[in-house]
Structure 1
Amino acid sequence: MKKLLFIVLAAVVGGLAALGGAQLFGWNQQVKYVEVAGQPAVEYANFADPATTTNVNPAPTTGFATAADKALPAVVHIKASKQASGRSVGGNPFGIDPDQMPDAFRDLFGNPSPDGRTPQRQAPLQQGSGSGVIISPDGYIATNNHVVDGAENLEVVLNDMQTYEAEIIGVDPTTDIALIKIDATNLPTVKFADSDKLRIGEWVVAVGNPFSLTSTVTAGIVSAKGRSIDIVRRTGGELAIESFIQTDAVVNPGNSGGALVDINGDLVGINTAISSPTGVFAGYSFAVPSAIVSKVVKDLREFGVVQRGLLGARIIELNTAFAEEKGIDRDNGVFVNEVTENSAAEEAGLKAGDVITAVDGVPTLRNSELLEQLGRRRPGDNVVITYERGGDERQATARLKNSEGNTEAILPKPVPEVVSELGAEFVDVDETVAEELEISGGVQIADIKSGLLYEQTKLRPGFIITHVDDRRVKDVEDFNKIMSRASGAVGIEGVYPDNPDKVIGLAIKK
């Protein structure tokens, strides 16, 4: 008995000694989780017939090998490059402001000298790296718009290391999807799965080329659907469609344009962005659903531009506070704030104050869901809109229109001679930006290449032209008309969005 008591006493003393030592050396300190203040930065992560198979919720005993085996041969490495200018911007000897470069080029900016230390004075070659997905055996490849944006040369490396030059067939900034093509045949492809049937919690596999590590496979689950992160609107404007598939599969710069496949290896999305405070993966990635990708690439292949069916209504997403303010007895849905004259919405009988709840029977309780459903349609398509007015549910059939107010297909417009002469790409100023800057329209420089602006000015992409020869500029069409009539010394006036109080005036000689 005494021996037993001695053993117990020794155990207690030893335990206390261990705890004291642990406390002394800090071994038992609790892990502290630090919450990052504010919203994390959102950064871009640099057709076969629809699949008949369905996704499997639990991972099979073979893991993700089947999905990888099917997807890897159809995912390519895209190397985009363009020659930089030699102008001096902000003291940069390269003449390039990295902050004004397309996202696809920013990470690999620079051209070191042979000694590896001092930058060469010559214009560098800007290079970017991304991914793409072969969608037809004759060489059509889907990728992100930001992967190929501004590129003068595109090199595509297949999974078997064959290399091809690629051409851009068409781009769609409103969805951040692009279609390119290589001169090849009998290529491996992926099937398009129905992203609508993808469920939260299902396994997915991301395939791409992060940090130029070719043919990399990661896996995760679907964390959310219909997610809007307000990133495509930077380039796509008010027509931007954001209804991302959110996953926790690891995606990093270079994965942009790569495949997100289900457990069967069929395409459910194109990896596009990550949410991160550092620029590298920090927990969540975002992909454009295959339903949108399929529609966009078909349009680009057939028409060269995307055919957007527009309802013609300004919308606001309902929440509890807004519903109470408007006296609406529901806290979700899409509130019609304004109906455009002669639009599809007006002709269907929709009015300001209505709350849209479904399109063709598909619930659309968030803006992203409504825009996604409409984004799959072309001008001339009929859709059944379910909505509430005064608490009563109603339905109406709307025949969608194009941006010109009719139901015809939109064809690519020829590049105006003035645009070619100036050597720049111009877009209409976004209405929200114009309101913030308190300007009534204008044109924004989206990109500058070789031409009069490059040769005679130090203007950077982002500059907003508000006046030409003291005449107010409303939009790109107006700008082209004014510039086409101008000759000799032409005065240009405008502002940069980040410094609207500083009006810049300059002249170019035509």
Structure 2
Amino acid sequence: MFSKVALILLVFFLISCGQEGKSVSDKVVNETKESVFIVEGLACGKSSIGTGVLISNGILTNAHVIAGTEKLEVIDVNGARSETYLISVDFETDLALLRDPGFSQPRLQTAEPKEKQRGSLIVGGKGFVNSVPVKISRLLKIVIADIYGEGKHTRSGMELSAEVISGDSGGPIINIKGQIIGLIFSRSTIQDGVSYGISSAEFTKVTESYDLSGVSSGKCRE
């Protein structure tokens, strides 16, 4: 009996490791790109650019992307523009939810991230939607100020081996099934090729309660 149980556990372990070690297929990446957008806003006379992803409640992005914006547009993978507005925001967790203008693209589902998991980051920082391979180096609790540099707040997050640029903020980190396991929000200032994401466990901060009539985008960031 012990040997059979041990064999089953070994097979399960090998399957699990195989799943986490796989790269995201081109098919899944291309399908996911359809649901990812470049987010453009105007904040205090300056352009603000980031990335957003379509989920069941709206378009998820970073709060620092939309802070202080007076006008917001999203641009799809084909270059089509649509106006939108903010319906939920959490400045401490750096998450924001934009109104879905009525897109027909698939709404992406979420899943829990795992350490050493490989995936892809879908971003729009280069002016078009593209993918960057990533690996979760470790899961961690990140103690950080809010988007205005005030206070100390804890968020569930992850350290990634990935190179990101300005405009990639808000891009979804997906697993091999195309599920969102996190949202990129920053890169390391001291180590090349290291970036940080917000865990999907935090998304409820903006998805469980929102106002379809719109909410304030707060003040501009300095």
Task: Kindly provide the CA deviation profile for residues 25-72 of structure 1, in whole angstroms up to 9, marking residues without a partner as x.
Answer: xxxxxxxxxxxxxxxxxxxxxxxxxxxxx8912226xx5314312321
Larger strand proportion of the pair: 2
2:19 pairs with 1:56: yes
Aligned residues: 205
Residue 68 of structure 2: aligned partner: 150
Alignment of 1:36-435 (within 5 A): 56-59=19-22, 64-84=25-45, 126-136=46-56, 140-195=58-113, 198=114, 200-212=115-127, 214-228=128-142, 230-232=144-146, 234-235=148-149, 237-238=151-152, 240-277=153-190, 282-293=192-203, 295-301=204-210
2:21 partner letter = P
What is the CA-CA distance between 1:249 and the residue it aligns to? 2.1
Counting aligned pairs with the same residue, the percent is: 21
Secondary structure of residue in 1 paired with 2:196: strand
8 Å Cα contact 1:227-1:246 kept in structure 2: no
Task: Kindly provide the CA deviation profile for residues 275-303 of structure 1, in whole angstroms up to 9, marking residues without a partner as x.
Answer: 124xxx8221111111111x123233269
8 Å Cα contact 2:92-2:145 kept in structure 1: no
What is the CA-CA distance between 1:208 and the residue it aligns to? 0.6
Output the CA distance in 2 between the equivalents of 1:169 and 1:177: 11
Report 1 or 2 for greater relative contact order, CA contacts < 8 Å, sequence distance ≥ 6: 2
Pair 184,167 (structure 1): closer, same or farther in 2 beyond 3 Å: same
Q: TM-score, normalised by structure 1?
A: 0.37
Secondary structure of residue in 2 paired with 1:300: coil
Instruction: Provide the alpha-carbon RMSD of the alignment.
Output: 2.8
Output the CA distance in 1 between the equivalents of 2:213 and 2:164: 30
What is the CA-CA distance between 1:245 and the residue it aligns to? 1.1
8 Å Cα contact 2:145-2:151 kept in structure 1: no
Secondary structure of residue in 2 paired with 1:187: coil
Larger Cα-atom Rg: 1
Pair 232,243 (structure 1): closer, same or farther in 2 beyond 3 Å: farther
Pair 248,227 (structure 1): closer, same or farther in 2 beyond 3 Å: farther
Alignment of 1:483-498 (within 5 A): none
2:52 partner letter = G
What is the CA-CA distance between 1:182 and the residue it aligns to? 3.7
8 Å Cα contact 1:141-1:180 kept in structure 2: yes
Output the CA distance in 2 between the equivalents of 1:233 and 1:153: 19
8 Å Cα contact 2:87-2:210 kept in structure 1: yes
8 Å Cα contact 1:170-1:304 kept in structure 2: no
Output the CA distance in 2 between the equivalents of 1:227 and 1:180: 26
What is the CA-CA distance between 1:194 and the residue it aligns to? 2.2
2:102 partner letter = A
What is the CA-CA distance between 1:165 and the residue it aligns to? 0.7
8 Å Cα contact 1:232-1:242 kept in structure 2: no
Unpaired segments of 5 or more residues in structure 1?
1-53, 85-125, 306-411, 416-424, 426-445, 448-460, 463-510
Larger helix proportion of the pair: 1
Unpaired segments of 5 or more residues in structure 2?
1-15
Output the CA distance in 2 between the equivalents of 1:303 and 1:167: 9
8 Å Cα contact 2:88-2:207 kept in structure 1: no
Residue 322 of structure 1: aligned partner: none
